[in-house]
Amino acid sequence: MRIVVCAKEVLDPDAVNNYALSGGLAIGDDGRTITSSAIPRLMNAYDEQAIEAALRIKEAGADHTVTVVSAGPDPAAILKHAVALGADEIVSIPIEDAGIDYHVVANLLAAYVRSSEGAGLILCGRQASDDDQGVVPALIAESLDMPLISIARAVALSAGGTVRVTRVTPDGNEIVEADCPAVVTISNEFGEPRYPTASMTIRARRTPATVVTMSDLGDVDLAARVTLVEQSVPIVQGNCEVIDGESPSVIARDLVRRLHEDGILS
Amino acid sequence: MTGPVVVCTWAGEGEAAELLTLGRTVSEALGTDLVWLVIGVTADDAAETAKRYGATSIDQIDNNRVAASEPDATVEALSQNCSKRSPRMLLFSQTFNVRLIAPRLGGRLGSPVVMNATGIDAESGKLLRVTASAYGGDTQVVYEIQGDAMPIAALMPSAVEPQKSTAQTSPAVDVFEPDLSGVEERIRVLEPAHAEGPRLEDAQTIVAGGRGLGSPENFRLVEELAEALGGMPAASRPIVDDGWTDPSRQVGLTGKIARPALYIAAGISGASQHMAGCAASKTIVAINSDPDAAIFRYARYGIVGDCLELLPELTRAVQER
Ligand SMILES: Cc1cc2nc3c(=O)[nH]c(=O)nc-3n(C[C@H](O)[C@H](O)[C@H](O)COP(=O)(O)OP(=O)(O)OC[C@H]3O[C@@H](n4cnc5c(N)ncnc54)[C@H](O)[C@@H]3O)c2cc1C
């Protein structure tokens, strides 16, 4: 079965977090693009876990291939990383605008699957750590008329061509099944992705990406549904009262007393 | 007149008052009606709530196939309701299920979809603007809605302060019967989730621990204080990922969204992705050895110190009272 994994390049969310907290996150003159140049770009961590999920399915037997596709201004680096992890094929859909509407990205990815050999299983990260939207997998599923199973912590394929997924829900684990082709989104509970080995990293350097152009994709709806017009760092208004005292036990009693006075503890 | 603003909630779930408040601001700005679409059996006081928050009518879908276990039927039912109502805009409160249903419905209808919304800027004759959180809350973004298709937005919990309407409405309940005969559910539930015991979402008191606990054994200190307070223990993601406690205890963007009266965070730095799950707590107490930790910006009370010393002392102080 052909497994297609969709991957996105993002700004390192931990670095963005550090800059945001220190007040040093730079937004460009356009009012919407983060321009702090020292922030590394990397593969969205959930997408890395989606690749891991695909590789584990492949290793579990049967004859599966893993294709990783990315649409973005410069997907080369993360696609190399995908090969280093173990992807059989990498596909790049170059698009100029870094702030492109995610609805259009979904249309491009769906069009790629439709215009290539199709897919038995499409795996995506549950959301991108930059926009946090998490809608692309659902849009792909609707566009290709496939069922969508979200927030997986375990995925397995059966010989009969069904996918069995353990989902992480607010009420605990749920096990569901659907006939392939299907779209599944992977959550962080899936577990750590593997590290690339030295030999795989060398192989990655030699593996070119298939570059897909608009004309390869046929008819794609490129009309923007949303445009990002502003981005800013929200200000958190602090009013913290620091409780100090000569020992932990004095501080602890003081805090408990105040919580009682405030009516929070009865 | 353009179609109504429709706000959709599941009976007994989500924050109807917040969503109705936002829906009313949008419908008033656009000079259109506000319809409340309720899935499941409406509570007895639904009509009263609708009146208070200015809904012009209530649509009710009470069909046992429109449930979390049948996403295909749910998307189809909502899609049929949209055909009937032709909404100007459709709003949800963001729940686990809505995170799946809203974008699928959007894909079905060709709609713009914005999740994690925190507000909507509507002005007649202008493009709608939806504010949403990004980078787990590190940044806030504004999306301008393009095209003619009905936009869908999902509102984050606690983003809007509920406000009653000054004008009273007298909404009638309309039962909407979707035709689901053509829908064959593609997802089969083999083992449903069973909530084991109480849920963090409902807890009034939560004690949460993070990487500052130092080692897995010390999570016990969090559990002991939680027990003394009659509350529940919780955790940040790194220690869940490292297996110190169960994933069901994770609070944050990709974990549980809690809104207790009291949230005690011990050894947690206060990353926005964590705060996304607890910032709505009434009172936050932070215990952190780093006086510059971000968590202090959200806290009502802060203790700069070693949580390994303070947690047992707090447990003792609570037990003594
Ligand atoms: C897309 C995405 C989603 C995420 N989702 C979530 C989520 O749902 N939930 C979540 O929690 N995180 C989430 N994260 C991770 C988040 O960004 C932070 O990395 C995480 O919350 C940090 O956990 P922490 O505070 O326990 O650890 P750290 O950030 O390492 O903080 C430990 C803190 O403990 C303090 N400390 C150390 N020793 C002591 C001591 N002895 N006594 C007192 N204090 C001490 C330190 O000063 C520090 O502030 C997500 C990240 C991404 C990118």
Q: Tell me whether residue A154 is in a domain.
A: yes
Q: Across the strands, what pairs with A42?
A: A10
Q: Tell me whether residue A160 is in a domain.
A: yes
Average pLDDT over every residue of B253-277: 94
Stretch (H or E) spanning A104? helix A102-115
A266 touches chain B (CB under 8 A): no
Whether A226 and B116 lie within 8 Å, measured CB to CB:
no
DSSP class of B245: S
Q: Across the strands, what pairs with A2?
A: A65
Q: Tell me whether residue A213 is in a domain.
A: yes
Q: Tell me whether residue A260 is in a domain.
A: no
Taking CA atoms only, the protein residue closest to ligand 1 atom 30 is B211
Answer whether residue A138 shows pLDDT above 60: yes
ipTM, 2 decimals? 0.94
At B209, the pLDDT band (50, 70, 90 cuts) reads very high
Q: Nearest chain A residue to B296 by CA: give it.
A: A240
CA nearest to A157, candidates A52, A62, A86: A62
Q: By residue range, what is the domain housing residue A41?
A: 2-217
With pLDDT > 90 as the criterion, what percentage of chain A qualifies?
86
Counting from 1 in the atom list of ligand 1, the atom nearest the Cα of A17 is 17
Q: Tell me whether residue A108 is in a domain.
A: yes
Q: Tell me whether residue A230 is in a domain.
A: no
Q: Where does chain B have alpha helices with state H?
A: 16-30, 46-52, 71-85, 96-109, 219-228, 237-241, 272-275, 295-298, 307-320
DSSP class of A62: S
Which residues, in sequence order, are CB contacts of A19 under 8 Å at separation 6+? A25, A26, A36, A39
Q: Cα(B269) to centroid of ligand 1, in Å?
A: 5
Instruction: Give the CATH number, domain containing residue A66.
Output: 3.40.50.620
Q: Nearest chain A residue to B118 by CA: give it.
A: A234
Q: Where does B203-294 have alpha helices with state H?
A: 219-228, 237-241, 272-275
At A65, the pLDDT band (50, 70, 90 cuts) reads very high
Average pLDDT over every residue of A77-103: 94
Answer whether residue A15 shows pLDDT above 90: yes
Structure tokens at B9: 């909630």
Give pLDDT tens digits for B47-65: 888 999 999 999 999 999 9
**Shortest Cα distance, chain B CAs vs residue A53, angstroms:** 17
Sort residue B270 into left (φ over 0), alpha (ψ -120 to 50) or beta: left
Structure tokens at B182: 């053509």
**Chain mean pLDDT for chain A:** 95
Q: For helices B307-320 and B219-228, what crossing angle results, to 10°?
A: 20
Answer whether residue B33 shows pLDDT above 90: yes
Whether B141 and A258 lie within 8 Å, measured CB to CB:
no
CB contact at 8 A, B31 and B124: yes
Per-residue pLDDT, B283:
96
The amino acid that residue B65 corresponds to is R
pTM above 0.80, yes or no: yes
Those of residues 40-79 in A touching chain B at CB distance below 8 A are none
Q: Nearest chain A residue to B95 by CA: give it.
A: A170
Pairing of strands B205-209, B172-175: unpaired
Q: Which residue has the higher pLDDT, B252 or A238?
A: B252
Structure tokens at A115: 């215009």
| Pocket of ligand 1, beta carbon within 6 A | A 13, 17, 129; B 136, 210-212, 214, 236-238, 250-255, 267-269, 271, 273-274, 277, 287-290, 293, 306-308
Sign, CA dihedral B50-B55-B57-B59, equals negative
Whether B142 and A149 lie within 8 Å, measured CB to CB:
no
Per-residue pLDDT, A26:
93
Which of A170, A188, A231 is facing B201, going by the closest CB pair? A170
Per-residue pLDDT, B301:
97
At B261, the pLDDT band (50, 70, 90 cuts) reads very high
**Shortest Cα distance, chain B CAs vs residue A217, angstroms:** 19
Q: What is the 3-state secondary structure (H, E, C) of A72-95?
A: ECCCHHHHHHHHHHCCCEEEEEEC
CA nearest to A131, candidates A10, A229, A36: A10
At B14, the pLDDT band (50, 70, 90 cuts) reads low
CA nearest to B280, candidates B21, B15, B26, B7: B15
Answer whether residue B1 shows pLDDT above 60: no
**Shortest Cα distance, chain B CAs vs residue A82, angstroms:** 23
Q: Tell me whether residue A256 is in a domain.
A: no
CA nearest to B48, candidates B58, B63, B62: B58
Whether B134 and A132 lie within 8 Å, measured CB to CB:
yes
Q: Tell me whether residue A243 is in a domain.
A: no
At B13, the pLDDT band (50, 70, 90 cuts) reads low
**Shortest Cα distance, chain A CAs vs residue B250, angstroms:** 10
Instruction: Please state the domain count of chain A.
Output: 1
The amino acid that residue B122 corresponds to is A
Where is mean pLDDT largest: B208-212, B269-273, B277-281?
Answer: B208-212
CB contact at 8 A, B150 and B111: yes
Per-residue pLDDT, B314:
98
The amino acid that residue A96 corresponds to is E
Which residues, in sequence order, are CB contacts of A73 under 8 Å at separation 6+? A94, A95, A96, A97, A98
Q: What is the dihedral of CA B151, B154, B160, B163, to 10 degrees?
A: 70
Give pLDDT tens digits for B63-85: 999 988 999 999 999 999 999 99
Average pLDDT over every residue of A6-13: 97
